Structure 1
Amino acid sequence: MKFQNTAVLSIALVLSACGGGSGGSANSGGATGGANSGIVSGQGCTNKFGRTWTAVDGVKQKLEYFNNVVYGNGVFLGIGYGKAVISRDGENWINVASSGVHGGYALTYALGKIYMVGQTGGLADNRMMASSTIDGTSWDNVIIGDSANPSLQALPNVDPQSMSYGNGRFVLVGRDGKIIWSADGRSWYAAANAADLKVYGFDWGTFANGKFYAGARLNVYVSSDGNTWQTQKIVGDGTFPTTGLTGMQYFNGMYVAVDSQGNIANSSDSINWKTVAKGRVFLPVNGNAIVAGGGQLMAVDSASNFTRDGDDIFYSCDGIQWEKTKVPNGNYSYSIAIGDNIAAGVGSTPIFSKY
């Protein structure tokens, strides 16, 4: 599938923060989003990237379709339906070798490589772990979910939602409420008490300040090793959270999270939260995400068409003061990644922002 740059694609819910408007034309390839559309609190990232965004003409660059992007070792890697694209500047992209992993994948950067889990695309619909030395030209693939193979210790066939790395372990949480972990990306184990949590499906997962966190609607769960989990108490301030956290990062010595209505809050202990930025005023959608990198945070809304505000991106240098800006042509983000001096995202077209 090639990019369609004549219409905004429709999306209901993807992964895992924040109303309609216009910037430049996505057809021009060099169109920029409007300048800062409103300061939420203080001056925020006045001299940082994130204020102005540019649309990439994916059709002109003959890019394969991708809807998830991650950054590591100076390269953005985009993945979609078994296809891979890379860019060093967020503006110029090229198609590279397929990893063999198809839909339903989760991405993370760790140990100098990009790792992802997804479906093999075969009739058996196994789960595959793939790793790349970041250039996307070669991949190491390992089947991790073949229930017919007794050596895999009856590993549950997880529907991937989010993968994190920390404390020497990969942890994968699933849309189906399952959790698996691995020390090397090859040998995987089911979390000891995941079934006891009685979670229908996880919306997000992250590694923050030495612990793994996973969110499921109104509840948040925490683990130090990815194997044993417990419910995390959440105390809000009346505004945050609305119907649950939809993403979390640890940044500048504090926890920063976004909720289903696009509100952003801080916490010193991941339990007690105080709102620092108000989000949208429409219906809650569990499509918000918050990402960190390049000395700043960005919150995006990847479930925008029902609320007409998915073309806003919130950004902050300190996690306390936030600004928001619109992206080109009413675009919206499936996924966003932040590099050292550049941020890149993908929605109806790829977009980027730099100094």
Structure 2
Amino acid sequence: MLRVVVASFVLAVSGCIFFPPAGETDSDSGTGGQTGGDLFIAVGDAGAIVRSTNGAEWVISTSGITTALNDVAYGGEMYVAVGQAGKILHSEDGVEWSASSSPSTRDLYAVRWHGTRFIAVGGDYSAGAETLESEDGITWTRPDLPAPKHMLIDLAGDGVTLVAIGNYQADAMNFGAFNWQDGVGWVQRVDGSPTGDRYSALGHGAPNFAMLGPIKSAYSGDGLTWNYAPLFNLAADPRGLTYGPGGWIAVGGGGQILASADAITWLVRASPFMTTLNDVASDGQRHVAVGVGGNIAYSPDGLTWTAVTPPLTAELRGIAHTRQ
């Protein structure tokens, strides 16, 4: 049984705000880049891939596909993007992308570099989790291990411990959090079904792991045992979570942007958008969030956010940062 510690929670208002209804740190940082230095890469609908060296000016990379891409990560001197129908792409520089060999036709929602290899997850509510792995990002295999009944939607890791979250019913009320064990597969650590607790965004930073939902936040020093903090009901689910200067940044439905130093007390930041932001990444100083309509929000400090001119209008679903 998990030991649960109930912590206090305060939702504070910072500045003039709106709050309408509606991977490494979780920025997936690695040690490579397009031409050295920083590189943000975002992926989305219709095979959209865009890149930026500073988070404010963006250009389009050609993916060669029209399938939606959900997430992107870097590791082992390779970028990897995953998406619908088992689609996987790889790139050495973030500019030129090629198709990888995927054994799956099921939707993939998240990918991370885990020490010596990439792990990608997804699935569906009828057949449960899909898990794929690859040492080079090009050739992928499905481990012959038991799979959870949950559709896995997000990943976070530090290269040693890898955590996944997901649900096994379409109403998202049967939540599970898992950690990966080599030779075993996904081991469930949190079962939200008895209480209806659910979490829709996951990240790694300090404390080591955090996850955020519409009614609670949770944090863990090891990705195994979780502590919980009550949260005022948010108007929309959080979608993305990252750790950077000053602590955690979460984004989600209705353009919401939240900030926390400890994953317990969260502040609402003024957002330049009223439409969904799907993901967020940090380079250790700057933050970038992406979302519906190709929207890109930029912050030099996690406090003040402005809209960036997007290079396309396709919905952007995932973003990662790397540094050489």
Pairwise same-fold verdict (TM > 0.5): yes
Q: Which one-letter code corresponds to 1:77 in the other structure?
A: V
How many angstroms apart in 1 are the aligned matches of 2:99 and 2:316?
A: 20
Are 2:324 and 1:336 aligned? no
Q: Which one-letter code corresponds to 1:129 in the other structure?
A: T
How many angstroms apart in 1 are the aligned matches of 2:185 and 2:312?
A: 45
The verdict on how the C-alpha distance between 1:244 and 1:102 changes in structure 2, with shifts beyond 3 A counting, is: closer
| RMSD, matched Cα | 3.5
Deviations 1:105-158 (A, max 9, x none): 432222142111234x9xx9463432222x323234214445xxxxxxxxx411
Q: CA deviation at 1:267?
A: 2.4
Structure 2 residue aligned with 1:232: 229
Q: Are the counterparts in 2 of residues 212 and 226 from structure 1 also a CA contact under 8 Å?
A: yes
Q: Which one-letter code corresponds to 1:271 in the other structure?
A: I
TM-score by length of structure 2 reads 0.69
Structure 2 residue aligned with 1:210: 207
Match for 1:76 among 79, 95, 102? 79
The correspondence of residues 174-323 of structure 1 with structure 2, limited to 5 A, is 174-176=166-168, 177-184=175-182, 186-191=184-189, 193-199=191-197, 201-234=198-231, 242-243=235-236, 245-281=238-274, 285=276, 288-293=278-283, 296-301=286-291, 304=292, 310-323=293-306
Structure 2 gap ranges (5+): 1-21, 23-47, 169-174
Structure 1: which 4+ aligned runs deviate by more than 4 Å? 241-244
Deviations 1:302-354 (A, max 9, x none): xx3xxxxx32211234323433212224233022222227xxxxxxxxxxxxx
How many angstroms apart in 1 are the aligned matches of 2:295 and 2:251?
A: 14
Q: Are the counterparts in 1 of residues 112 and 156 from structure 2 also a CA contact under 8 Å?
A: yes
Structure 1 residue aligned with 2:137: 136
The verdict on how the C-alpha distance between 1:267 and 1:79 changes in structure 2, with shifts beyond 3 A counting, is: closer
How many angstroms apart in 2 are the aligned matches of 1:66 and 1:288?
A: 14
Q: Which one-letter code corresponds to 1:173 in the other structure?
A: I
TM-score by length of structure 1 reads 0.63
Aligned length: 269
Q: Are the counterparts in 1 of residues 62 and 96 from structure 2 also a CA contact under 8 Å?
A: no
The verdict on how the C-alpha distance between 1:75 and 1:137 changes in structure 2, with shifts beyond 3 A counting, is: closer
Which is strand-richer, 1 or 2?
2
Deviations 1:235-285 (A, max 9, x none): 79xxxx654544322212422222432233432222333344324246xx5
SS in 2 for 1:338: strand
Match for 2:102 among 98, 102, 105? 98
SS in 1 for 2:263: coil
Q: CA deviation at 1:169?
A: 2.5
The verdict on how the C-alpha distance between 1:196 and 1:297 changes in structure 2, with shifts beyond 3 A counting, is: same
Q: Which one-letter code corresponds to 1:300 in the other structure?
A: V
Q: CA deviation at 1:65?
A: 2.9
Which has the higher Rg, Structure 1 or Structure 2? Answer: 1
Are 2:47 and 1:49 aligned? no
Counting aligned pairs with the same residue, the percent is 22
Q: CA deviation at 1:99?
A: 4.4
The verdict on how the C-alpha distance between 1:114 and 1:67 changes in structure 2, with shifts beyond 3 A counting, is: same
Structure 2 residue aligned with 1:109: 113
Bigger relative CO (Cα 8 Å, ≥ 6 apart)? 1
Q: CA deviation at 1:174?
A: 0.5
Q: CA deviation at 1:165?
A: 1.7
Q: CA deviation at 1:224?
A: 3.4
Q: Which one-letter code corresponds to 2:69 in the other structure?
A: N
Structure 2 residue aligned with 1:67: 69
How many angstroms apart in 2 are the aligned matches of 1:170 and 1:292?
A: 19
Deviations 1:46-95 (A, max 9, x none): x952222222344xxx4473513222234221223223211233321112
